[in-house]
Amino acid sequence: MLELLDALSLQIAVLGALTLGLAPFFPEPHIWEKLKMLRAGTLRKPIDIFDLLLHAAPFALLAAKLLRMATL
């Protein structure tokens, strides 16, 4: 698993977080809407939870890549 993380370029991880993580961009990024729902306690539907996880995955991957780079 760590070999895959090492093989992933930082540019691809950043691009994924900025495009897939924030899409759709208008009227507001989708992940921002889901995080507001989570904070308000209205994130209850399974599709909304799945959507939050889907849009958060590129950011988690970027964080893992940066953490791996910092520990090498």
The answer to whether 66 touches 6, Cβ cutoff 8 Å, is no
The answer to whether 38 touches 52, Cβ cutoff 8 Å, is yes
CA pair distance 29, 17, nearest whole angstrom: 12
- pLDDT of 30 reads 87
Chain length of the chain: 72
| Chain CA centroid to CA 35, Å | 12
Q: Which residue do the tokens 């959507």 mark?
A: 51
Q: Indicate if the pLDDT at residue 72 is higher than 90.
A: no
Q: Give the domain ranges of the chain.
A: 2-71
**pTM value?**
0.87
pLDDT confidence bin for 19, thresholds 50/70/90: very high
CA pair distance 14, 61, nearest whole angstrom: 9
- The percentage of the chain sitting over the pLDDT mark of 70, rounded to a whole number, equals 100
